[in-house]
Amino acid sequence: MAEKRDRWHSRTSFIMAAVGSAVGLGNVWRFPYVAYESGGGAFLIPYFIALFTAGIPMLILEMGLGQRLQMGAPGVFGAIRKSWQWFGWWAAGLSACIVIYYSTILSWSWVYLWHSFKLAWGTNPEQFFMQEVLQKSSGPAEMGAPIWYLVVGSILTWAAIYIILRKGVRNVSKVVMITVPLPMVLLTVLLIRGLTLPGAMDGISYYLTPDFSKLADANIWLRAYGQIFFSLSLASGVMIGYGSYLGRKAEVTNSALITGLANCGTSFFAGFAVFSMLGYLAQVQGMPVPDVTASGTGLAFVAYPTAILKLPALSVLFGIIFFVTLLMLGIDSAFALQEAFTTGLHDKWKIKPEKLALGFVAVAMPISLVFTTHGGFYWFDIVDKWICDFGLVAAGLAQCIAVGYLYDIHDFRRYLNSISEVRLGNWWIWALRFVTPAVLTVILVMNVRNEIMATYEDYPRWATNVGGWGTLIICAIVSWILARRPGKIKE
């Protein structure tokens, strides 16, 4: 008798899990900065157009494929064309690679949570981050040994991922009821604190005041599509995997709409929490807002902690709240990435969730220790850049081509309309066949061109070849091997 597939506890828990996967650190540390740099409030125009012409169509595609075929990415692409199972493993493999280095960001967050109790970053948070936390070496060649407290943070992260995933999506259904709403509540607390500080409106003014002249720059539109693409966990097998645990009559289209709007709504909201605090920091330091504005790790581990230190009261509390928020935002993205890969293993070899969770963590955790070394930050930077700018973009492009041209997409649209609350028109097919592939092609070509013209961040070529192209090649080889191994990929 065929083993019954694991199911989400409810539609709500599926949507929460999908939102949890999509909403991550980038919603806080990347979107607000990109918007600010790209015309402020005017950026919302290309951003929403990208959401509705690429982001949501692809969400519907991925969730729908998983739901219809009841398999993760390897099985789904193997069903489209037998020889494409390899591609499904490639997409899911990228997720596996991402979670390996993503765990390191969570490790930093654990360390900063610890340091929040004494606001240990002091008056020179940049030096604190680079020299005391990362103990950064001079370059990627000087790896050094793993730093013990980052290893502890890494262990905590992997232990959490194992505990959450060992009982499959039924357990995930419960966990996301905490890990998704809690950071929203905490962001609200940070927002209220931010808005009540002097200088807050000045910061928000920089975030939101539109500069419509920027819309004439094609790069701004590409940036919007790129931001949507990466923000929604697309092309990584996550949404296909999560969709595969939906019931055979489960709704897809409206769930995808809710996921996309909730993700972007969180980004928009987070921008106010970030820029109100940056506005305050600028006022306190007597500097213009642009001079204190930062993104990525510079925001999370330097600028925001600086602002927290200068709060008039309860700095320790707000420091704890901020880093707990980062941890909650990151953890459900992390286990979604792992699940994207282990779903493929489960589909093909019927390995139980407990063994999958343990096996994956046992392999991934030692590898992730590379990123806890003195040179680890450089390798994290390189691997992340290559996986995102080349791997995921290529995966997204191939996915659109596979479904748009090799699969009966008209029949797929009819199928989705038969189970969904919101009807899809032909615009969805045009979005997947033309708009999204065109944009992804331009992004990919530009990324390749930029890399040829100048090495990323002036890293030595050997480092980007090993860490960047090397990671993608290893991922491709492993994917090919997994695809060739015999197993039962069909349910």
Binding segment for other proteins among 203-211, 355-363, 396-404, 479-487 (CB under 8 A)? 203-211
63 binds other proteins (CB under 8 A): no
Cβ distance 83 to 269 under 8 Å? Answer: no
SS3 146: strand
* 282/393 with CB nearer other proteins: 282
* 4/248 with CB nearer other proteins: 248
CA 204 to CA 220: how far, in whole Å?
A: 20
Cβ-defined contacts of 458-462 (< 8 Å, 24+): 459/140, 459/378, 459/381, 459/382, 460/139, 460/140, 460/141
Size, binding site for other proteins by CB under 8 A = 33
SS3 39: coil
Binding segment for other proteins among 99-107, 231-239, 261-269, 301-309 (CB under 8 A)? 261-269
* 254/417 with CB nearer other proteins: 254
SS3 230: helix
Q: Which of 291, 421, 457, 491 binds other proteins (CB under 8 A)?
A: 421
Binding segment for other proteins among 83-91, 115-123, 146-154, 244-252 (CB under 8 A)? 244-252
CA 160 to CA 172: how far, in whole Å?
A: 12
SS3 373: strand
- Residue 114 has a CB neighbour count (10 Å cut-off) of 15
26 binds other proteins (CB under 8 A): no
CA 343 to CA 166: how far, in whole Å?
A: 12
246 binds other proteins (CB under 8 A): yes
Q: Which of 16, 23, 44, 361 binds other proteins (CB under 8 A)?
A: 44
205 binds other proteins (CB under 8 A): yes
* DSSP label at residue 235: T
Q: Which of 122, 146, 181, 210 binds other proteins (CB under 8 A)?
A: 210
40 binds other proteins (CB under 8 A): yes
* 98/274 with CB nearer other proteins: 274
Q: Which residues does 60 contact at the CB level (< 8 Å), separation at least 6? A: 252, 253, 256, 416, 424, 428
State the nearest-atom distance from the C-beta of 72 to other proteins, in Å. Answer: 19
Q: Which of 6, 130, 167, 254 binds other proteins (CB under 8 A)?
A: 254
For the chain, give me the number of helices (H) and strands (E)? 27, 0
State the nearest-atom distance from the C-beta of 156 to other proteins, in Å. Answer: 33
State the nearest-atom distance from the C-beta of 277 to other proteins, in Å. Answer: 16
The closest alpha carbon to 194, from 181, 209, 207, belongs to 207
Which tokens is 97 given? 């690679």
257 binds other proteins (CB under 8 A): yes
* 146/265 with CB nearer other proteins: 265
422 binds other proteins (CB under 8 A): yes
State the nearest-atom distance from the C-beta of 9 to other proteins, in Å. Answer: 9
User: Cα–Cα distances in Å, from 170 out to 336, 346, 480?
Assistant: 13, 15, 31
Q: Which of 114, 149, 268, 469 binds other proteins (CB under 8 A)?
A: 268
Applying the rule CB under 8 A, the residues between 182 and 201 that interact with other proteins are 201
442 binds other proteins (CB under 8 A): no
CA 313 to CA 474: how far, in whole Å?
A: 50
57 binds other proteins (CB under 8 A): no
Q: Which residues does 40 contact at the CB level (< 8 Å), separation at least 6? A: 206, 207, 208, 209, 210, 211
Cβ distance 372 to 392 under 8 Å? Answer: no
State the nearest-atom distance from the C-beta of 56 to other proteins, in Å. Answer: 10
Applying the rule CB under 8 A, the residues between 2 and 21 that interact with other proteins are 7, 10-12
Residues that bind other proteins (CB under 8 A): 7, 10-12, 40-42, 44, 48, 201, 204-205, 208-210, 246-251, 254-255, 257-258, 261-262, 264-265, 268, 419, 421-422
